[in-house]
Copies of this chain bind each other. A is one copy, B any other.
Amino acid sequence: MREDAKTPQRHAERMAKKQRIMQERIARADKDQGVLLVLTGPGKGKSSSGFGMLARALGHGMKVGVVQFIKGAFSTGEEAFFRDLPNVDYHVMGEGYTWDTQDRQRDVAAAEAAWAVARQMLRDESYHLVLLDELNIALRYEYLDLDTVLDDLQNRPPLQHAVVTGRYAPKELIELADTVTEMKVVKHAFKDQGVRAQKGVEL
């Protein structure tokens, strides 16, 4: 196929076919609705993808909300960048990385307080997109009640998008979601090659 691609005529035919398929698919897909998108799996790029969608929404003049469910020495770049922009409401859970606190009660209280902020956003249709960064980790450790979270996501305004990131998305969340991407590690410099996490790409 890649050899064929070099013949101008074959190329034009193939591209014309692709164009028809895309046009037909777009014509069939005619519903507007808020999308619940889950980015999970062990590979890099889950949170950054959520923040890229935030940027894209802001580029369309939308109002967005962010709640980060894990806070630590890491993840400072995106906070510095987005926090004070117009049309952005940004909330960070009050505690450090969960493995820095070693106090389950405090983690649960912090997660619940963060969810209260998320819930307000999920009930307010003025937010076009709500990013719940690393929510899956809070669910994994059962810091939050899964049914409460699922109910609040399901009952959000019909045109509001919600983006949930973090490893170990629970299967009930995957069932509820419209679009789910799993990030697979093919290679990881930080783990495999003694390179520390690099500002910009990872922090």
A residues with a Cβ closer than 8 A to B are: 2, 5-6, 8, 11-12, 15-16, 18-19, 22, 25-26, 28-35, 37-41, 43-60, 62, 76-82, 97-105, 128-129, 140-142, 161, 163, 174, 177-191, 193-203
- Kindly list chain B residues whose C-beta atoms are within 8 Å of the C-beta of A103: 8, 12
Known contacts A16-B102, A99-B15; A174/B194 CB under 8 A: no
Closest 4 CB pairs of A and B: A48-B52, A59-B81, A56-B77, A57-B200
State the copy count for this chain: 2
What separation, in Å, do the CA atoms of A31 and B6 have in the docked complex? 43
Can you list 9 residue pairs at the A/B interface with Cβ under 8 Å?
A: A5-B104, A12-B104, A15-B99, A19-B100, A50-B52, A52-B54, A55-B78, A57-B200, A178-B193
Tell whether, in the assembled complex, residue B19 and residue A196 are in contact, meaning their CB atoms are under 8 Å apart.
no
Known: A163-B201, A198-B35. A55 touches B52 (CB 8 A): yes
Q: Is the CB of A179 within 8 A of B188?
A: yes
A31 to chain B: which residues have CB within 8 Å? 193-196
Is A179 a contact partner of B187 (Cβ separation < 8 A)? yes
Residue of B nearest to A31 (CB): B195
